Amino acid sequence: MIALIDYDAGNIRSVEKALAALGEETEVTRDAERILAADRVILPGVGSFGDAMGKLHSFQLVDVIKETIRRKTPFLGICLGLQLLFERSEESPGMEGLGILKGEILRIPEKDGLKIPHIGWNSLTFPNPGRLFEGIEENPYVYFVHSYYLKAAEPSIVTAETEYGTLIHASVEKDNVFACQFHPEKSSSVGLSILKNFISLT
């Protein structure tokens, strides 16, 4: 069973539908026992960094997430779910992230006439091998919706990058922790392949 963590932060239903299309059993939950019993766990999310961290604390999910990762359960953060895994965000000064991975979330610079938020399809390059992208050719297009981006402190964990006014660390992998700034559930066949790779992890 795949647990989708429910903390009132957005795109859970679209992720649930994509996994159902792949034939996967999912459960939308904020129950600690159900999350810890899951074979895989996904932290989706859209919205603001500070509000989301506040909800994770109010639902007592911070320690549950950390324990899930400590147990080596495959864990996937999507969009805001990626950002929350890191230490801090310019969007919410003074609010600490989960701090599971090292790095910070910065605002996309307003230059070259680029619209903020970044909404739409961008191609990925793969600086390091990543298990989410096995069997996927270089420069696939995936769907983004965000105003803030990841600058990871450890280049070795960055498995996908894109350019939008700056270099964006679009996906990371460290041990059993995976995350994507883009939305695989909205990224057509490429996104389904990414989710399928996550499902196939041992």
185 is catalytic: yes
Token output for 94: 């003074």
- What values do phi and psi take at 65, rounded to 5? -65, -45
d(CA 180, CA 171): 4
List helix spans (H) across 6-58: 12-21, 32-37, 49-58
Q: Which one of the listed residues 16, 161, 173, 185 is annotated catalytic? A: 185
Q: Are 163 and 114 in contact (CB under 8 A)?
A: no
Pinpoint the alpha helices (H) of the chain: 12-21, 32-37, 49-58, 62-70, 80-84, 188-199
Catalytic residue among 118, 146, 169, 183: 183
Is 79 a known active-site residue?
yes
Catalytic residue among 33, 67, 79, 146: 79
Active-site residue 180, yes or no? no
Q: How many CB atoms lie within 10 A of CB 7?
A: 24
Q: Which residues are catalytic?
A: 79, 183, 185
